[in-house]
Structure formats: C-alpha cells, structure tokens
A and B are shown apart, each in its own frame.
Chain A
C-alpha cells in the first residue's frame, strides 16, 4: 500500500508570492490533516479535512487555507508569503476524522521563503 505522498518535496518562493502544496492520502483514507514544522515552534496543527469539509482549524492566520477534493486529495495554499512561513509542511492521512484514528504522515514539503 502506497504511503502519503506530498508534492513538491522542495519549494523556494519569495516574499509576497503564494504557494500551493499537494497531498495524496493513503488509499481509503478520508481525513487529511496539515501541520507546520519549524525548529522554533515544533509541529503545529494547521487544519483537518474530512469528506471535503474542514473539521478543525489551528491558530494560523487566514493566509493559510486548504481544501479537499472528492478523491480525498488535499491542497494547502499560503498567500502573501512571509519569511516566517519557511518550514516543513507535513500532511497526515487517517481512515476517519478525530484524534483516535491513527495519522500517517507524509515526508513533507520543505518551503523556503526568500
């Protein structure tokens, strides 16, 4: 069974630009969560999507948004990029929504904002 895939793996952008990251969950998984990982703040929850609906949202500004498609694939968008957005963005999929459903993480997309 293929794991969670994230594309692209690396991305370099400049301040003010916007970026879209993609996540393909494990086949059969309907929930996708996004996390930001930085050396200073660690792993922080961005949002969770289940059946194309946002179920939960972390404490991030509105520049961070996401969506989920009918095939459970998810995209995350960051607009008006800031230097502080440089991070590893991780996507995790699970069979169902909620904390008790084991999350399987992808390898992440490394975003660098110059």
Chain B
C-alpha cells in the first residue's frame, strides 16, 4: 500500500509557467515532508522540506504548501525553467522516509 500518493505522474509546462505537484498521506504520525529532485543517472537530491507546524515554506522559486487537516502537501515551481526538467518525489516520515511514486516534469522552452 502506497503510504504517500503523488500526482500527476507526468507534467509538461511551458517555460515561465507554474508547475504544481500534489501529494497526500494518511498516516498522522508523519511529521516531516521533504521534496526531492532527481535527474537521469543521478540519485535524488533534497530540494525543500517542511514540518507540519507551518503551512507554507518558500525557497527561491520553490514553495511547499501544507494542509494538515486535509493531509495534503504540494510543490509549486514558479517561473519554471528547462533546467527544472527532472523527476520530483515527495516524501513523508515518522522515522524513515516513505516516497511518492514521482512526477516527471518537462519544461518546454
């Protein structure tokens, strides 16, 4: 059973547009929600993370929105660039990380 559900599976966005990836979870013990970015042939790299005591965290063009009551969180990439084309994974943890299934983002120039 997938502990963290991620959507969409793939996303195509025009350069300069906003990319939005959504994740949902059921386990209320989760208290750490990171997002990872993975390029082909590389391991995932931490992009940004949030804890449930805040509803939003922004780092540059990347923002996590967190809705504790709905048990949902999302990643927004503002002003999307071709270099952002990668696979993005959300994750959640009580102790070890449970990952979503990934979203392949393609940003068209």
Chain A residues at the B interface, C-beta cutoff of 8 Å: 4, 33, 42-45, 48, 56, 58, 90, 92, 98-100, 102-108
Contact = CB atoms under 8 A, between A and B. Distances in A.
Given A45-B98, A104-B45, A107-B42, 11 more contacts: A4-B43, A42-B99, A42-B102, A43-B99, A43-B102, A45-B96, A99-B94, A103-B46, A103-B97, A105-B44, A106-B43
Secondary structure type dominating chain B contacts: loop
Interface bracket on B: 20 to 34
A43 B44 contact: yes
Contacts of B102: 42-43
Interface in B1-54: 2, 32, 41-46
A46 B12 CA distance: 32
Interface in B76-109: 89, 91, 93-102
Contacts of A107: 41-43
B80 to A, nearest CB: 23
Contacts of A108: 43
Contacts of B99: 42-44
Interface of B: 2, 32, 41-46, 89, 91, 93-102
Nearest to B38: A105
B48 to A, nearest CB: 11
B100 A42 contact: yes
Contacts of A98: 95
A75 to B, nearest CB: 18
